[in-house]
Structure 1
């Protein structure tokens, strides 16, 4: 049985989309499916698309997809840059993920372009969609207009 203190920690109120995003990627780096899912809204319409993978919809399917991804261990992933569009209740973050893994050929690096969508819920900001596709090193950095906020 899970320690109630650990469960409470995974259900912490996230006060911004940035905080939720940081928690999501930290959970991936630690290989913690419970903490990954604590970043998601508890809604059967949540959706996730991994590079080259199918769309998974609903909490059970999204959890299973992340469990499979983390089955071999944590994912060493960092965000190289973030572009944000935010309103009072919704945030869309376009990010470039740098994913690194040690293989028999040494350290391998892949770049992933992802869009993360967050909604403000009674439990705080939660992810409702994550859509990722393969990127290229030239995707870094994105030198366009600075951060924008929608009102």
Structure 2
């Protein structure tokens, strides 16, 4: 494959991952994660400890989907770097989510969140598969308070 085609394929796999989360499609989430029987996958959700192993990673997504009534990702700053059969996709996840509705409401309160994510993919005979996902919350806007000393 050409470099451009590989980049587009990784971008498509990255987008498919977020779209499956939005739909709550556990089967597709499972299919998108690497499953070669030998390589351990890993995942870090914002504020969680590192999860290692396909079982723990997929259970985490089942738990998130079971407890999230609504979630939508607006991806910005998407970049893909390739090296042979490994790809690293970085992006900012602009997340809008809501939990279960209360008091007869149609949807729970919506909350916005910014997360920077690194998704590592590996090329397989079935296409690009997620090997690792790491999401970190964005706690401060860049460029603000540039004149202030860092807090110890």
Tell me which interval the TM-score lies in, with the shorter structure as reference length.
0.7 to 0.9
Q: Choose which of 66, 72, 77 in structure 2 pairs with 1:76.
A: 72
Whether 2:51 is the aligned partner of 1:56: answer yes
- For 1:91 and 1:24, the matched residues in 2 are separated by 15
Contact map agreement 1:46 1:57 (CA 8 A) in 2: yes
Q: Mean Cα displacement is larger for which, 39-48 or 112-121?
A: 39-48
- Structure 1, unaligned stretches of length 5 or more? 1-14, 140-151
Q: CA deviation at 1:89?
A: 1.0
- For 1:57 and 1:102, the matched residues in 2 are separated by 27
Q: Which residue is equivalent to 1:35?
A: 28
Q: CA deviation at 1:76?
A: 1.6
Q: Which residue is equivalent to 1:46?
A: 41
Q: Choose which of 132, 137, 148 in structure 1 pairs with 2:135.
A: 132
In the TM superposition, what are the counterparts of 1:1-151 in structure 2 within 5 Å?
Answer: 16-43=9-36, 44-72=39-67, 73-102=69-98, 106-136=109-139, 138=141
Q: CA deviation at 1:74?
A: 4.5
Aligned length: 126
Give the aligned CA root-mean-square deviation in angstroms.
2.3
Deviations 1:20-39 (A, max 9, x none): 11110110010111111111
Q: TM-score, normalised by structure 1?
A: 0.74
- For 1:62 and 1:102, the matched residues in 2 are separated by 22
Q: TM-score, normalised by structure 2?
A: 0.74
